[in-house]
Amino acid sequence: MPAPSEVSLRINGELHVLRLEPRVSLLDALRERLQLTGTKKGCNQGACGACTVLADGERILSCLALAVQYEGAEITTIEGLADPLQDAFVEHDGFQCGYCTPGQICSAVGMMREFRDGSPSAVTGDGEMSFSEEEIKERMSGNLCRCGAYVGICAAIQEVFAR
């Protein structure tokens, strides 16, 4: 078994120093060591997006990330995210059971940044990019909702992006 080592993680603006084995996922460090349980463990295989967090503003699947890989990065979880998307999700009924919601919101924040930075998706056409429903669905396709609240999720994202 690998020996634990000291890992410094900056999460939601606060520095945390943890003793972790090198194989501990970022998700497990967040949930089990820091009690930041907003980030959900869904499939634990990178297929559902429930564990999505932001690392230096980029969305990542924390179940597939080793905590030691993110030493020095700024990690933002749903607990550290003060964003109008949260209110828009409530207003547009963008959740039902709410399990996927933290990952959906973190992913949407990262996705809107990618779009604004000009990163194309698989459906982005030639020329000027359009923030269409098709574009949102493609960019959010890694975040699954078993309840089927996709209409509300898209509406919430479109409203906030339009602001």
Instruction: Tell me how far apart the alpha carbons of residues 126 and 112 are, in angstroms, rounded to a whole number.
Output: 19
Q: Using an 8 Å Cβ cutoff, are 159 and 89 in contact?
A: no
Q: For residue range 73-98, list pLDDT tens digits in order.
A: 999 999 999 889 999 999 999 988 99
DSSP string for 10-44: EETTEEEEEEE-TT-BHHHIIIIIS--TTS--SSS
Q: Using an 8 Å Cβ cutoff, are 60 and 53 in contact?
A: yes
% of the chain residues with pLDDT over 70: 99
Question: What is the rounded average pLDDT for all residues in the chain?
Answer: 94
Q: Which of 27, 32, 38, 13 is nearest to 67 (CA)?
A: 27
Q: Is 53 exposed, middle or buried (0-12, 13-18, 19+ CB in 10 A)?
A: buried
pLDDT-based confidence at residue 125 (cuts at 50, 70, 90): confident
Q: Using an 8 Å Cβ cutoff, are 59 and 46 in contact?
A: no
Domains of the chain, earliest start first: 5-80 (3.10.20.30), 84-162 (1.10.150.120)
Instruction: Tell me how far apart the alpha carbons of residues 39 and 29 are, in angstroms, rounded to a whole number.
Output: 11
Q: Which of 90, 108, 106, 109 is nearest to 98 (CA)?
A: 90
Instruction: Tell me how far apart the alpha carbons of residues 145 and 4 are, in angstroms, rounded to a whole number.
Output: 36
Q: For residue range 17-72, list pLDDT tens digits in order.
A: 999 999 999 999 999 999 999 999 999 999 999 999 999 999 999 999 999 999 99
Instruction: Tell me how far apart the alpha carbons of residues 144 and 124 are, in angstroms, rounded to a whole number.
Output: 21
